[in-house]
Amino acid sequence: MPEPFQEDPAAPPDSQDPARKRVVPRPLLWSRLDDAPGQALFGLYRRLIEIRREHSGLTSPNFYPRFWDESQTWLDGDGFGIDEARQVVVYHRWGDAADGRLEKFYIVLNFSQSPQTIEVNFPEGDGWIDLLSSWSPPVRDHRLQFEVGSNWGHIFYKKY
């Protein structure tokens, strides 16, 4: 039986069409929105939508690493990219806020079933906040090592 309000496991298999190979529609089970897990997931979706609306810097074209060699299956020396073995993605976004000030975002996603220890290079020390949890990470010497939970992520944010 499918999980409440989560992906339908009977979704179509990965497409052979190269234009659709990386993105496959996964319909949500809207009929299960009202149970507890469905409400929790819907709350997360609402929060992510709210974050995007509040931070125009996330809509800029600025993205690092912009071009990724798909044969590289591990994070780069600064902790960015894709680590296929650990099922982790780390990237950086930046752009102008609605008031014209610079916003920076470091996004860390863990798609695995296990917590993962991550180390990321930050351009400055403290002053970052995780927009999902309100955690202010202790960045020391421009580096942060921390654990990201299974199937979870962090959106570290700083405004200048």
Domains by residue range for the chain, with CATH: 1-54 (no CATH), 56-159 (2.60.40.1180)
Q: Is the pLDDT of residue 143 over 70?
A: yes
Residue pLDDT, tens place only, 32-55: 888 888 888 889 989 999 999 999
Query: What percent of the chain has pLDDT above 90?
Result: 58
Work out the pLDDT band at 81, boundaries 50, 70, 90: very high
Residue pLDDT, tens place only, 90-123: 999 999 999 999 999 999 999 999 999 999 888 8
Q: Against a cut of 0.85, is the pTM above it?
A: no
Mean pLDDT of the residues in the chain: 86
> 65: cis peptide before it, omega within 30°?
yes
Q: How far is CA 59 from CA 52, 75, 125, 127, 145, in A?
A: 8, 24, 25, 22, 27
